[in-house]
């Protein structure tokens, strides 16, 4: 049995007076690759933000490696939703990746050549090195997401949280990102990913966390990814949802 690296108990959070998360409890084992799935408004992003203290919890405790978040912050990496930043910001791809190192560089210091080399290597890993000096607004959606992944890699964290890294990316990027996630897992790193595509859950994740305001079901994909749990999480809209997913498959960009 591998060791527990994240323990969430009785977590509750609200957004503008509405409860978004209620009594959330789960434990994550080291080296697992977990997909967080649930309908729109189920609180998937809020869950990640609350775990990372980007959103205030109302009740509950969150333990990383047996420590409170502040003491574990150093080893936690976060990939926000691509749409959460302004891609017209005056900066280039390499610079965005270097940002992942700002915590390590520390106050009053400039990024050194060594930092830039690390960033460049991370871009190489994502197949993006030729775009290093490209202004970020001139990258496609998939390329932007790869830059975000490179930025996470350069952080060299032990536990990664990713918010919809596969949303709206091309097939090649999706493949590249999944290869990186599997690689991270092979190093014993733990990854939690907000995911929107039920069709690929079984291929991509070894654990699934069904979320709809609270944890509907959480466990090994093989055991818990059943029609019954999907219906329980998504309610009566399952059929419609699947129809939507199929349309994604029929019309790839």
Q: Footprint of other proteins on this chain (CB under 8 A)? A: 16-17, 49, 52-54, 73-74, 76-78, 80, 84-86, 89-92, 96, 99-100, 102-103, 105, 107-108, 110-111, 135, 137-138, 140, 151, 155
Q: Based on CB atoms, which residue is closest to other proteins, 56 or 236?
A: 56
| Min dist. Cβ of residue 52 to other proteins (A) | 5
For residues 121 and 98, the answer to whether their CB atoms sit within 8 Å is: no
| Min dist. Cβ of residue 5 to other proteins (A) | 17
Q: Based on CB atoms, which residue is closest to other proteins, 150 or 216?
A: 150
| Min dist. Cβ of residue 123 to other proteins (A) | 17
Rg of the Cα atoms in the chain? 18
| Min dist. Cβ of residue 91 to other proteins (A) | 6
Tell whether the torsion through CA atoms of 109, 113, 114 and 115 is positive or negative. positive
Q: Based on CB atoms, which residue is closest to other proteins, 64 or 234?
A: 64
CA 39 – CA 56 distance, rounded (Å):
22
CA 39 – CA 234 distance, rounded (Å):
6
| Min dist. Cβ of residue 10 to other proteins (A) | 23
Q: Are strands 159-163 and 190-194 parallel, antiparallel or unpaired?
A: parallel
DSSP of 26-88 = EEEETT-EEEEE--TTSSHHHHHHHHTTSS--SEEEEEETTB-HHHHGGGEEEE--GGGS-TT
Q: Based on CB atoms, which residue is closest to other proteins, 96 or 216?
A: 96
Q: Based on CB atoms, which residue is closest to other proteins, 35 or 80?
A: 80
């Amino acid at each position: 049995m591998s060791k527990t690296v994240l323990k969430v108990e009785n977590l509750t959070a609200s957004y503008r007076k509405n409860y978004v998360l209620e009594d959330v409890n789960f434990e994550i084992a080291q080296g697992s690759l977990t997909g967080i799935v649930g309908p729109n408004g189920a609180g998937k992003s809020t869950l990640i933000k609350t775990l990372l203290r980007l959103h205030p919890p109302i009740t509950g405790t969150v333990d990383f490696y047996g420590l409170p978040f502040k003491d574990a912050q150093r080893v936690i990496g976060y990939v926000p939703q691509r749409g959460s930043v302004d891609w017209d910001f005056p900066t280039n791809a390499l610079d965005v990746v270097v940002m992942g190192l700002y915590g390590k560089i520390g106050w009053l210091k400039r990024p050194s050549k060594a930092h830039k080399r690390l960033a460049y290597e991370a871009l190489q890993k994502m197949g993006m090195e030729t775009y290093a000096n490209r202004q970020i607004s001139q990258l496609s959606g998939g390329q932007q997401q790869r830059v975000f992944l490179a930025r996470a890699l350069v952080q060299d964290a032990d536990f990664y949280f990713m918010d919809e890294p596969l949303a709206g990316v091309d097939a090649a990027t999706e493949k590249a990102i999944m290869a990186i996630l599997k690689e991270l897992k092979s190093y014993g790193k733990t990854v939690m990913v907000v995911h929107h595509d039920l069709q690929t859950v079984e291929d991509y994740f070894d654990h699934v966390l069904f979320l709809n305001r609270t944890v509907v079901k959480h466990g090994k994909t093989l055991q818990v990814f059943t029609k019954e749990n999907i219906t329980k999480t998504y309610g009566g809209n399952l059929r419609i949802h699947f129809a939507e997913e199929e349309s994604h498959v029929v019309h790839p960009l």
